[in-house]
Amino acid sequence: MAHNFRYLIFHKPYGVLSQFTQETPNQSTLKDYIDVPDVYPVGRLDWDSEGLLLLTNDGKLQHRLSDPRFGHQRTYWVQVERIPDADAITKLQTGVEIQNYCTRPAQVRLLSADPPVCDRHPPIRFRKNVPTAWLELTLTEGKNRQVRRMTAAVGFPTLRLIRVSIGQIRLDSLPLGQWRDLDTSELQLLHQFLKQNSQSRIQKLAKRT
């Protein structure tokens, strides 16, 4: 019997839990936005973070994308307090110490202009006479609150965090609070990525033996 797998992307707003059940009363969850049965998020996006969340009922794919052994790229737009200098950018790129762990090398660049983001509700708290800047970070790991801890470690606290892509799947113009099914080309990219990722892991294991 053929499996009726669903693959969705959701533009998660600030303050929404990446799960369908509340932990305390009056919490906003995925149930408030997504009415598709039996799909579950791939990984997590913190309640105070925004952006792309991938959901599926394909357990194999969910496992592969959630397993830290199969590192895949996740790209974020990060608004930070003050303007990071070249030294801070280099540290983020090469690895910083967070909770007795050194982060893997990352792709990091200071954006020359504000990215095209929607308003956040509630808005961030601006401090008078303290400028802000936007970074684009691409990681291949997903430690707990990693981006926030990384920017704090180099002296530039995160004010706003938006995930804009997972692998080749991009948020693009999907409106805040809306979801849609992946299209055929996106599904092909996703499965191609998983295949390449699997082959790369097999090659690494072969070198160790």
For residue 102, give both structure tokens.
Answer: 């050194």
Q: Within a 13 Å sphere around the CA of 4, how many CA atoms are in the beta-carbon half?
A: 4
Known catalytic membership, residue 183: no
Residues 65 and 125 in one domain: no
For residue 202, give both structure tokens.
Answer: 């097999």
Residues 104 and 43 in one domain: no
Q: What is the pLDDT along the chain (209 residues), one digit of tens a residue?
A: 346 899 999 999 999 999 999 999 999 999 999 999 999 999 889 999 999 999 999 988 888 777 666 667 899 999 999 999 999 999 999 999 998 899 999 999 999 999 999 999 999 988 888 999 999 999 988 888 999 999 999 999 999 999 999 988 999 999 999 999 999 999 998 888 777 665 555 555 455 55
Over the stretch 114-143, which tens digit does the pLDDT of each residue have? 999 999 999 998 888 899 999 999 998 888
What pLDDT score does 64 carry?
Answer: 78
Catalytic residue from among 32, 35, 46, 85: 46
Cis peptide before 131 (omega within 30 of 0): no
DSSP letter string, the chain: ------EEEEEEPTTB-SSSS-SSTT-B-GGGT---TT-EESS---TT-EEEEEEES-HHHHHHHH-TTS---EEEEEEEES---HHHHHHHHH--EETTEEPPP-EEEE-SS----PPPSSPP---TT--EEEEEEEES---TTHHHHHHHHTT--EEEEEEEEETTEE-TTPPTT-EEE--HHHHHHHHHHHHHHHHHHHHHHHHH-
The CATH number linked to 12 is: 3.30.70.580
Domains held by the chain: number: 2
Pair type for strands 158-166 and 50-56:
parallel
What pLDDT score does 205 carry?
Answer: 47
**Within a domain: 1:** no
Length of the chain, in residues: 209
Domain with 158 in it: 74-166
Residues 59 and 113 in one domain: no
Residues 80 and 60 in one domain: no
Give whole-number Cα distances, 23 to 20, 35, 37, 184, in Å. 10, 19, 20, 35
Residues 63 and 91 in one domain: no
**Within a domain: 121:** yes
Residues 82 and 104 in one domain: yes
Axis-axis angle for helices 146-153, 86-94 (nearest 10) = 140
- d(CA 54, CA 45) in angstroms, rounded, equals 10
The CATH number linked to 127 is: 3.30.70.1560
Residues 123 and 184 in one domain: no
Dihedral of alpha carbons 55, 56, 61, 62, sign: positive
What pLDDT score does 77 carry?
Answer: 98
Residues 121 and 202 in one domain: no
Residues 26 and 86 in one domain: no
**Within a domain: 201:** yes
Residues 181 and 114 in one domain: no
